[in-house]
């Protein structure tokens, strides 16, 4: 999975500008599904027809967009001001390299004499080495997007770090489920959604187009095993997390129980996740039309929305087993 994850991590896909990662995902998953298409919103939908006597519509959603920046202003000296695209941690982003879709590189830095606690959207800029506004405008224009330079590397014990693991790791899980499911009892829609980081927008459009009976969002979660963190039951290496609730959704008990059953039958370690804040595409999936039986899988993750997100690939593999199990299961 590492090789596939690296392909996905390296592909460009800031929220609202996901064409780069969409093209990579479409090419990779096409051999394992019956149809690949893009809807009006930009969501990539890969469909696999089920062979069961009473197939259900099952939708898996992983957002393919990543946090990043959009150019809003270029000053007379060629320095570039930005609007954030998603939940930026400016402390983590400051003094980092950024890359534009064109391949142009620069560095994001805070205004001189700005205290770390004051780092924010109005206190940082990108330096591309330009000497004048005119020179910068030959390379960059208002509305262009950039992101922190992507990376991926291995650590000890089957763990990897880099960015944007959020949520390219979920994209890998959907891909692996499509590739490894033994058969498809159900009609399965592998959906790589857009604009999750700016308001879980793409999932709503995709779900209304599909109208699934069952749906699962796959995203990163937190980890309660780092120094001085708040008490949290989910940790790296103890298995994929099956979400019970977060700040935007209470998952359907039927879906929670179904995923737990698949995990237990396949001897797949799992954890249960309860979050007080935050949310994923799940909330939009659940509210589609008259509603559907919706749940979520969370990959335990350290240092989310930084340049050094860490996940355990054993947890990821367990999540793939559960997704494949849902492809194969006779659902009521």
Residues acting as catalytic residues:
196
Q: Which residues is 189 bridged to in the sheet? A: 47, 59
What gap in Å lies between CA 281 and CA 207, rounded to an integer? 10
Structure tokens at 301: 């993750």
User: Cβ(89)–Cβ(305) under 8 Å?
Assistant: yes
Nearest to 38 by CA among 287, 176, 209: 209
Nearest to 223 by CA among 147, 308, 283: 308
The H-assigned helical ranges of 194-281 are 202-210, 253-265
What gap in Å lies between CA 118 and CA 260, rounded to an integer? 44
- DSSP SS3 for 259: helix
What gap in Å lies between CA 146 and CA 210, rounded to an integer? 32
CA angle 176, 183, 36 (to 5 degrees): 55
Query: End-to-end distance of the chain based on CA atoms, in angstroms?
Result: 32
DSSP of 96-144 = EEEEETTS-EEEEEEPTT--GGG-STTSEEEE-S-SSHHHHHTT--TT-
User: Cβ(132)–Cβ(77) under 8 Å?
Assistant: yes
Residue with tokens 């499911």: 181
Eight-class DSSP state of 56: P
Beta-strand (E) ranges in 175-276? 187-193, 214-220, 240-245, 270-274
């Amino acid at each position: 999975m590492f090789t596939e994850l690296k392909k996905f991590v390296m592909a460009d896909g800031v929220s609202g500008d996901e064409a780069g990662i969409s093209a990579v995902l479409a090419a990779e998953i096409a051999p394992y599904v019956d149809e690949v298409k893009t809807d009006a919103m930009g969501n990539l939908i890969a469909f696999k027809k089920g062979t069961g006597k009473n197939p259900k519509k099952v939708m898996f959603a992983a957002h393919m967009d990543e946090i990043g920046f959009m150019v809003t202003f270029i000053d007379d000296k060629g320095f570039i001001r930005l609007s954030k695209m998603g939940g930026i941690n400016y402390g983590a982003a400051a003094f980092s390299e950024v890359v534009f879709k064109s391949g142009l590189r620069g560095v994001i830095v805070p205004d001189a004499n700005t205290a770390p606690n004051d780092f924010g959207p109005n206190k940082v800029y990108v330096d591309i080495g330009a000497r004048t506004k005119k020179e910068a405008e030959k390379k960059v224009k208002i509305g262009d997007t950039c992101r922190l330079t992507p990376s991926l590397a291995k650590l000890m014990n089957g763990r990897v770090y880099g960015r944007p693991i959020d949520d390219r790791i979920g994209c890998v899980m959907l891909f692996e489920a499509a590739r490894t499911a033994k058969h498809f009892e159900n009609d399965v829609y592998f959906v790589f959604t857009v604009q999750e980081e700016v308001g879980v927008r793409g999932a709503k459009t995709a779900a209304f187009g599909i109208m699934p009976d069952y749906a699962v969002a796959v995203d990163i979660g937190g980890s309660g095993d780092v120094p001085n963190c708040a008490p949290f039951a989910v940790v790296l290496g103890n298995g994929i997390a099956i979400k019970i609730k977060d700040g935007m959704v209470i998952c359907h008990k039927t879906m929670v129980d179904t995923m737990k059953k698949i995990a237990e039958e396949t001897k797949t370690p799992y954890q249960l996740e309860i979050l007080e804040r935050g949310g994923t595409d799940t909330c939009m999936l659940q509210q589609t039309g008259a509603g559907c039986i919706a749940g979520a899988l969370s990959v335990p993750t350290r240092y989310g929305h930084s340049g050094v997100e860490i996940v355990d690939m054993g947890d990821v593999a367990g999540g793939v087993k559960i997704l494949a199990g849902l492809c194969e299961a006779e659902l009521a």
